[in-house]
Amino acid sequence: MIFDVKKVKRIILITTIFIFFFTIDSYPARLKDIVEVEGVRENQLVGYGLVMGLNGTGDGDDVEFTVQSLTSFLKKSGINIDPNLIKYKNVAAVMVTAKLPPFARPGTKVDVLVSSIGDATSLQGGTLLQAPLKGADGKVYAVAQGPISIGGFNFGAGGNTVQKNHPTVGVIVNGAIVERNVPVDFQNKKEINFSLRFADFTTANQIVEKINKLVGANCAFASDASTIKVSIPGAGNKDPVSFLAQIEGIDITPDTTAKIVFDERTGTVIMGENVRISTVAIAHGNLSIQISKLNDVSQPQPFSKTGQTKEISQTEVSVEEEKSNIAILDKGVSIGEIVKALNALGVTPRDLIAIFQTMKSAGALQAELVIY
């Protein structure tokens, strides 16, 4: 298949421009979408378990911890067996992880993620046996059990294999039942603390002003760029849930620092709306050098008594430099004007990385560069 390089560059550039302009306008977000409420958080749980019923895709005999776990499980069930006599391929040792949501009560069901830790090739069709899930304090907060869904497969025969997705990791939907809750005394709270997901003094000050305006009292203040403390006024002390529901829907327009993010692996460029530059002239062109080598053979005429067959190398070198226009960008221009000027130069996303790095070195770019 033959690609038109110019068309491909044009498509990439148009895609990049769309990415740029999607970040131009700032729209309000709800308070609940940009902050975390102190004390209202998930807790991570982890446990160890065995998966049974695999179709010959389980751990091998040399995975000792699987043998020990199975032997221990059978002993608890009243079956004593010599571990050296166990031959199996239908069992796999796994780690089980889950997130305990805030305000979860005993009986609440949560999803669990099951991951093989031995040499099992697939968990397809397996069933997780009862596995306790512990928190960071070592206490059991949930128990997981059930059939595993891997959303893929792994088949093989004669040295050939066919695989879809990742067969050694699976999910059990609603596979864990909460046995213990994390105590949160939310009802008796007299103060609510908000933590901004992205710390910013301007955003924090805006939140304080809007909460005080809505509630009608100076109950909110920012202790730093990421923490807003709100005292629950009067009658709200009896119903903090209602008070929180009243203020978490406030519209906030988050303020951000000027930042340009590059992903060199995919050629993606994201520019924030606050990016500004000083007056600068830009000229960007590519130098292309092509070296081609052709091997030829020189040999004597038929029936010739003299002469030798020799290999002759011919090397051709060609140099081509693209013509480049010079664009002048005035200081303080908007992101739209920056894109328009760079578009006139015909640059690609990967060219932009070099251009902005050079502008930053020249002190003409008022933005932070983040390169992945």
Separation between Cα atoms, residue 143 and residue 158, nearest integer Å:
40
Q: DSSP states of 133-157 as a string?
A: EE-TTS-EEEEEEEE-B-SSEEEEE
Structure tokens at 243: 């008070």
Confidence (pTM):
0.66
Q: Is residue 58 a contact partner of residue 89, using CB atoms and an 8 Å limit?
A: yes
CB count, 10 Å around CB of 41? 14
Q: What is the mean pLDDT of residues 166-193?
A: 87
For residue 22, the SS3 value is: coil
d(CA 333, CA 337): 6
Of 170 and 296, which is predicted with more confidence? 170
The answer on pLDDT for 94 being more than 90 is yes
Which residue do the tokens 């089980």 mark?
Answer: 96
Please give the pLDDT value at position 16: 42
User: How far is Cα of residue 159 from the mean position of the Cα atoms in its chain?
Assistant: 34
Q: Do 128 and 148 form a contact (C-beta atoms < 8 A)?
A: yes
List pLDDT tens digits, range 41-90: 899 999 999 999 888 888 887 788 888 888 888 888 888 877 777 767 88
Domains of the chain: 5-24+259-301+309-371 (no CATH), 29-39+185-252 (3.90.1150), 43-178 (no CATH)
